[in-house]
Amino acid sequence: MKRGKNYQDSAKLVERAKLYAPAEALSLVCQTAKAKFDETVEIHIKLGVDSRHADQQVRGAIVLPNGTGKVRRVLVFAKGDNAKAAEAAGADYVGAEDMVAKIQSENWFDFDVVVATPDMMGVIGRLGKVLGPKGLMPNPKAGTVTTDVARAISEIKLGKIEYRLDKTNIIHCPIGKASFGAEKLQENFDTLVGAVIKAKPVAAKGQYIRSCVLATTMGPGVRVATDKLAVRNESAE
Protein backbone atom coordinates (compact mmCIF):
# COMPACT_ATOMS: atom_id res chain seq x y z
CA MET A 1 0.00 0.00 0.00
CA LYS A 2 1.41 3.35 -1.07
CA ARG A 3 1.42 5.99 1.65
CA GLY A 4 1.41 9.76 1.31
CA LYS A 5 4.46 11.93 1.99
CA ASN A 6 3.15 13.15 5.37
CA TYR A 7 2.58 9.59 6.56
CA GLN A 8 6.04 8.51 5.41
CA ASP A 9 7.63 11.47 7.20
CA SER A 10 5.69 10.66 10.37
CA ALA A 11 6.57 6.96 10.16
CA LYS A 12 10.27 7.87 10.26
CA LEU A 13 9.75 9.27 13.75
CA VAL A 14 8.44 5.97 15.10
CA GLU A 15 10.49 2.87 15.88
CA ARG A 16 8.04 0.15 14.88
CA ALA A 17 9.50 -2.53 17.15
CA LYS A 18 9.77 -0.28 20.21
CA LEU A 19 7.29 -0.27 23.08
CA TYR A 20 7.00 3.29 24.36
CA ALA A 21 6.08 4.50 27.83
CA PRO A 22 2.66 6.24 27.74
CA ALA A 23 4.02 9.79 28.14
CA GLU A 24 6.62 9.28 25.42
CA ALA A 25 4.08 7.65 23.11
CA LEU A 26 1.60 10.52 23.49
CA SER A 27 4.28 13.12 22.84
CA LEU A 28 5.37 11.21 19.74
CA VAL A 29 1.79 10.84 18.49
CA CYS A 30 1.37 14.62 18.62
CA GLN A 31 4.50 14.99 16.49
CA THR A 32 3.12 12.62 13.85
CA ALA A 33 -0.02 14.74 13.28
CA LYS A 34 0.84 16.44 9.99
CA ALA A 35 -2.57 16.71 8.30
CA LYS A 36 -4.10 20.11 7.52
CA PHE A 37 -6.94 19.42 9.98
CA ASP A 38 -6.84 18.79 13.72
CA GLU A 39 -6.42 15.03 13.83
CA THR A 40 -8.16 12.84 16.40
CA VAL A 41 -5.91 10.77 18.64
CA GLU A 42 -7.20 7.22 18.94
CA ILE A 43 -6.36 4.37 21.29
CA HIS A 44 -6.67 0.71 20.37
CA ILE A 45 -6.48 -1.79 23.23
CA LYS A 46 -6.44 -5.54 22.59
CA LEU A 47 -7.65 -7.52 25.61
CA GLY A 48 -7.04 -11.10 26.66
CA VAL A 49 -10.75 -11.94 26.81
CA ASP A 50 -13.26 -13.65 24.53
CA SER A 51 -16.12 -11.35 23.55
CA ARG A 52 -18.21 -14.37 22.50
CA HIS A 53 -18.80 -15.12 26.18
CA ALA A 54 -21.22 -12.95 28.17
CA ASP A 55 -19.07 -13.14 31.32
CA GLN A 56 -16.06 -11.72 29.46
CA GLN A 57 -17.66 -8.61 28.00
CA VAL A 58 -15.92 -5.30 28.68
CA ARG A 59 -18.16 -2.31 28.21
CA GLY A 60 -18.80 0.98 29.93
CA ALA A 61 -18.71 4.75 29.63
CA ILE A 62 -16.44 7.41 31.04
CA VAL A 63 -16.25 11.21 30.95
CA LEU A 64 -12.85 12.29 29.66
CA PRO A 65 -11.52 15.17 31.80
CA ASN A 66 -10.58 17.21 28.73
CA GLY A 67 -13.35 16.04 26.42
CA THR A 68 -12.88 14.65 22.93
CA GLY A 69 -12.59 17.91 21.04
CA LYS A 70 -15.64 16.98 19.01
CA VAL A 71 -19.10 18.54 19.20
CA ARG A 72 -21.51 15.62 19.58
CA ARG A 73 -25.09 15.81 18.37
CA VAL A 74 -27.53 14.19 20.78
CA LEU A 75 -30.89 12.69 19.87
CA VAL A 76 -33.21 12.05 22.83
CA PHE A 77 -36.26 9.81 22.79
CA ALA A 78 -38.56 11.10 25.52
CA LYS A 79 -42.03 12.45 26.18
CA GLY A 80 -43.67 14.98 28.50
CA ASP A 81 -41.53 16.47 31.24
CA ASN A 82 -38.52 14.36 30.21
CA ALA A 83 -38.71 15.81 26.71
CA LYS A 84 -38.83 19.34 28.12
CA ALA A 85 -35.84 18.56 30.37
CA ALA A 86 -33.90 17.25 27.37
CA GLU A 87 -34.58 20.40 25.37
CA ALA A 88 -33.55 22.58 28.30
CA ALA A 89 -30.33 20.59 28.74
CA GLY A 90 -29.27 21.26 25.15
CA ALA A 91 -30.31 18.13 23.26
CA ASP A 92 -30.00 18.66 19.52
CA TYR A 93 -33.10 16.62 18.70
CA VAL A 94 -35.97 15.44 20.91
CA GLY A 95 -38.90 13.28 19.94
CA ALA A 96 -40.61 9.90 20.12
CA GLU A 97 -42.52 8.02 17.41
CA ASP A 98 -41.92 10.95 15.04
CA MET A 99 -38.17 10.43 15.25
CA VAL A 100 -38.55 6.70 14.66
CA ALA A 101 -40.53 7.46 11.51
CA LYS A 102 -37.95 10.02 10.34
CA ILE A 103 -35.10 7.53 10.70
CA GLN A 104 -37.03 4.74 8.99
CA SER A 105 -38.45 6.77 6.11
CA GLU A 106 -35.60 9.20 5.43
CA ASN A 107 -32.61 7.09 6.50
CA TRP A 108 -31.75 10.05 8.74
CA PHE A 109 -28.67 9.78 10.95
CA ASP A 110 -27.58 13.37 11.64
CA PHE A 111 -26.73 12.56 15.26
CA ASP A 112 -23.82 11.00 17.16
CA VAL A 113 -25.43 9.70 20.37
CA VAL A 114 -28.91 8.47 21.26
CA VAL A 115 -30.35 8.86 24.77
CA ALA A 116 -33.70 7.41 25.81
CA THR A 117 -35.92 7.17 28.86
CA PRO A 118 -36.77 3.57 29.88
CA ASP A 119 -40.41 3.90 28.80
CA MET A 120 -39.28 4.66 25.23
CA MET A 121 -37.23 1.51 24.70
CA GLY A 122 -40.23 -0.39 23.32
CA VAL A 123 -40.61 2.27 20.65
CA ILE A 124 -36.90 2.38 19.85
CA GLY A 125 -36.80 -1.42 19.60
CA ARG A 126 -38.08 -1.06 16.03
CA LEU A 127 -34.80 0.67 15.17
CA GLY A 128 -32.55 -2.05 16.57
CA LYS A 129 -31.47 -3.31 13.15
CA VAL A 130 -30.33 0.12 12.01
CA LEU A 131 -29.04 1.65 15.26
CA GLY A 132 -27.32 -1.50 16.53
CA PRO A 133 -24.77 -1.94 13.72
CA LYS A 134 -23.86 1.75 13.99
CA GLY A 135 -23.28 1.49 17.74
CA LEU A 136 -26.08 3.98 18.39
CA MET A 137 -28.55 1.83 20.33
CA PRO A 138 -29.14 3.25 23.85
CA ASN A 139 -27.81 1.04 26.63
CA PRO A 140 -28.15 1.26 30.44
CA LYS A 141 -24.47 0.29 30.91
CA ALA A 142 -23.44 3.29 28.84
CA GLY A 143 -25.79 5.58 30.76
CA THR A 144 -27.84 6.34 27.65
CA VAL A 145 -31.02 4.71 28.98
CA THR A 146 -31.96 6.89 31.94
CA THR A 147 -34.66 8.95 33.60
CA ASP A 148 -32.11 11.72 34.22
CA VAL A 149 -31.81 12.86 30.62
CA ALA A 150 -30.41 16.26 31.59
CA ARG A 151 -27.41 14.68 33.31
CA ALA A 152 -26.83 12.26 30.43
CA ILE A 153 -26.83 15.10 27.89
CA SER A 154 -24.50 17.22 30.04
CA GLU A 155 -21.97 14.38 30.37
CA ILE A 156 -22.06 13.63 26.65
CA LYS A 157 -21.48 17.27 25.77
CA LEU A 158 -18.58 17.41 28.25
CA GLY A 159 -16.83 14.46 26.62
CA LYS A 160 -18.40 11.19 27.72
CA ILE A 161 -17.40 8.27 25.54
CA GLU A 162 -18.42 4.64 25.47
CA TYR A 163 -15.87 1.86 25.30
CA ARG A 164 -16.64 -1.73 24.34
CA LEU A 165 -15.06 -4.74 22.70
CA ASP A 166 -15.41 -5.42 19.01
CA LYS A 167 -15.53 -8.94 17.57
CA THR A 168 -11.73 -9.17 17.61
CA ASN A 169 -11.55 -8.29 21.34
CA ILE A 170 -10.20 -4.80 20.69
CA ILE A 171 -11.45 -1.52 22.17
CA HIS A 172 -11.21 1.49 19.83
CA CYS A 173 -11.72 4.96 21.34
CA PRO A 174 -10.88 8.61 20.66
CA ILE A 175 -9.05 10.33 23.51
CA GLY A 176 -8.89 13.86 22.13
CA LYS A 177 -7.31 15.95 19.41
CA ALA A 178 -3.63 16.33 18.52
CA SER A 179 -3.95 20.03 19.36
CA PHE A 180 -4.65 19.10 23.01
CA GLY A 181 -0.97 18.43 23.56
CA ALA A 182 0.61 15.52 25.41
CA GLU A 183 -0.38 16.65 28.93
CA LYS A 184 -4.15 16.84 28.33
CA LEU A 185 -4.07 13.67 26.24
CA GLN A 186 -2.27 11.94 29.10
CA GLU A 187 -5.11 12.83 31.49
CA ASN A 188 -7.68 11.43 29.06
CA PHE A 189 -5.51 8.37 28.39
CA ASP A 190 -5.14 7.61 32.11
CA THR A 191 -8.87 8.01 32.71
CA LEU A 192 -9.86 5.63 29.91
CA VAL A 193 -7.19 3.01 30.54
CA GLY A 194 -7.96 3.08 34.26
CA ALA A 195 -11.65 2.45 33.51
CA VAL A 196 -10.83 -0.46 31.18
CA ILE A 197 -8.53 -2.04 33.78
CA LYS A 198 -11.15 -1.71 36.52
CA ALA A 199 -13.70 -3.31 34.18
CA LYS A 200 -11.64 -6.51 33.93
CA PRO A 201 -14.06 -9.48 34.02
CA VAL A 202 -13.62 -12.01 36.81
CA ALA A 203 -13.62 -14.73 34.14
CA ALA A 204 -10.63 -13.20 32.32
CA LYS A 205 -7.49 -15.31 32.69
CA GLY A 206 -3.86 -14.60 31.86
CA GLN A 207 -2.61 -11.28 30.54
CA TYR A 208 -5.51 -8.84 30.40
CA ILE A 209 -4.09 -6.05 28.23
CA ARG A 210 -2.34 -7.78 25.33
CA SER A 211 -1.41 -4.67 23.37
CA CYS A 212 -2.06 -0.94 23.21
CA VAL A 213 -1.52 1.29 20.18
CA LEU A 214 -1.95 5.06 19.79
CA ALA A 215 -2.43 6.78 16.45
CA THR A 216 -3.76 9.96 14.92
CA THR A 217 -6.39 9.91 12.17
CA MET A 218 -3.79 9.94 9.38
CA GLY A 219 -0.67 8.88 11.25
CA PRO A 220 1.22 5.67 12.01
CA GLY A 221 0.61 3.56 15.10
CA VAL A 222 2.75 3.99 18.19
CA ARG A 223 2.94 0.93 20.42
CA VAL A 224 2.63 1.42 24.18
CA ALA A 225 4.33 -0.86 26.71
CA THR A 226 1.53 -2.77 28.47
CA ASP A 227 3.64 -3.37 31.58
CA LYS A 228 3.75 0.41 32.05
CA LEU A 229 -0.06 0.46 32.04
CA ALA A 230 -0.15 -2.14 34.82
CA VAL A 231 2.31 -0.13 36.92
CA ARG A 232 0.27 3.06 36.46
CA ASN A 233 -2.89 1.23 37.47
CA GLU A 234 -1.34 -0.27 40.60
CA SER A 235 -0.03 3.11 41.71
CA ALA A 236 -3.46 4.65 41.24
CA GLU A 237 -5.30 2.10 43.38
The runs of H, that is alpha helices, within the chain are 5-11, 22-32, 80-88, 97-106, 121-124, 128-131, 149-158, 182-198, 226-236
Per-residue pLDDT at 137: 94
pTM of the model: 0.80
Per-residue pLDDT at 1: 65
Per-residue pLDDT at 172: 96
Q: Please measure the distance between the N-terminal and C-terminal CA atoms of the chain and give it in whole angstroms.
A: 44
Per-residue pLDDT at 4: 83
Per-residue pLDDT at 6: 86
**Residue 121 to residue 15: CA distance in whole angstroms:** 49
Note whether 124 and 138 are within 8 A (CB).
Answer: yes
**Residue 97 to residue 136: CA distance in whole angstroms:** 17
Along the chain (237 residues), what's the average pLDDT of each consecutive run of 10 residues?
82 93 96 94 96 92 93 95 97 96 95 96 93 92 93 93 93 96 96 95 92 95 87 41
**Residue 214 to residue 123: CA distance in whole angstroms:** 39
DSSP element (H, E) containing 205: none
